[in-house]
Amino acid sequence: MRIITRSDVERLLPVAACVDVMRSAMQETSRGNATLPIRQFIPIPHAPGKLAVMPGTLGAPACFGIKLVCKYDRPHGDPLGTHVGMVMLFDSDKGIPLAMIEGSSLTAIRTSAASALATDVLAREDARRVAIIGNGEQAMRHSHAMRAVRKIEHFTVWGRDAARTEAFAARVYRETGVETAAAATVEAAVAEADIICTATSAKQPILFGRHLKSGQHINLVGAAIPSAAEADDEAVARSRFYVDYQDAAMAAAGELLGAISRGAVQDNHIVGEIGNVIDGTAPGRSNGDEITIYKSLGVASQDLAAAHAIWTMAETENSGASIDLLD
């Protein structure tokens, strides 16, 4: 079994390469070749955190495993971040452990890569301007991920703290070389955007349907529980709504569930899973005027596919620490 740390995860699976890994994972998911129990959260007594448990199986590559993530409230800029965890990867044929892989960077890479995949599938081909709502790790990751699938010419960023947002804009420009501006409001940030990525900890909507324009594609990334939403009912109602995994969306997609409960949309509002669109079993964008939304919740098939890709490359170059648990 290999133990693979953060530095190797970052080196072995850059986001551009991970997009194709996510493409295969989403196809396997939508074809029914994955077992994906709904994630469970276990509160930690007397601590500001919880343990998230995400088990699953994947048909191709044939593997199974579990992701364990400790989600703790920490100050902005804390080197540990809000998520610390690991993915345990097992071989399906032999039932033996293959790897324990650092989970925070793996999750960050596969989440932004999944958004890039959805953008590649759903956004207009001529999309060039991106609005990023949020200024944390996922916001930064998405600036790189969008460039993997479209020729981005301009970023506009927004965050609640103006000074932090200005610093984030400078960092995006420094790392991508793409012209980047900080906006004073979400409305201003999205006004000229072709692609919008929300990667915030917002519990209540910050993106409103009245501010959207025809032809935009939106990746909703931040909210992952039924009681939280980054976009309002009007945004959901105006869009063609896509998800990574329908069962998860109907259990935890706060934007969708809230809109259904208030009668803004029907419970059949989901057009399809991204894997369905790739396979041609669900329609994608049909014209340049439609607004499309991809609701990202994250599923174990994505973690397993990313973990298997990392393990395969680590095996090839003999990186990470190799141990024998059964000696």
DSSP output for 300-311:
HHHHHHHHHHHH
- Whole-model pTM: value is 0.94
174 pLDDT tier (thresholds 50, 70, 90): very high
Same domain, 77 and 145: no
In a domain, 327, yes or no: no
For residue 318 the two structure tokens come to 């003999």
Residue with the larger pLDDT of the pair 201 and 305: 305
Same domain, 230 and 133: yes
Range of the domain at 275: 115-299
Same domain, 74 and 127: no
Q: What is the pLDDT of residue 47?
A: 85
Same domain, 292 and 223: yes
The pLDDT tens digits for 154-167 are 999 999 999 999 99
- What angle, 0 to 180 degrees and rounded to 10, lies between the N-to-C axes of helices 103-122 and 15-30? 70
Which among 66, 73, 70 has a CA at the least distance from the CA of 104? 70
CATH code at 170?
3.40.50.720
CATH code at 74?
3.30.1780.10
Same domain, 172 and 267: yes
At a CB cut-off of 8 Å and minimum separation 6, what does 231 contact? Answer: 198, 205, 206, 207, 208, 209, 218, 220, 255, 293
In a domain, 273, yes or no: yes
Same domain, 285 and 316: no
Domain count, the chain: 2
Q: What is the pLDDT of residue 72?
A: 79
Same domain, 67 and 156: no
Q: What is the pLDDT of residue 15?
A: 98
Same domain, 42 and 131: no
Tell me 39's DSSP state: P
91 neighbors 57 (Cβ within 8 angstroms): no
Same domain, 76 and 130: no
Same domain, 168 and 221: yes
Same domain, 279 and 316: no
Q: Mapping DSSP to helix (H, G, I), strand (E, B) and coil, where does residue 232 land?
A: coil
Same domain, 281 and 187: yes
Question: CA separation (Å) from 255 to 133, 216, 258, 286, 316?
Answer: 16, 18, 5, 23, 42
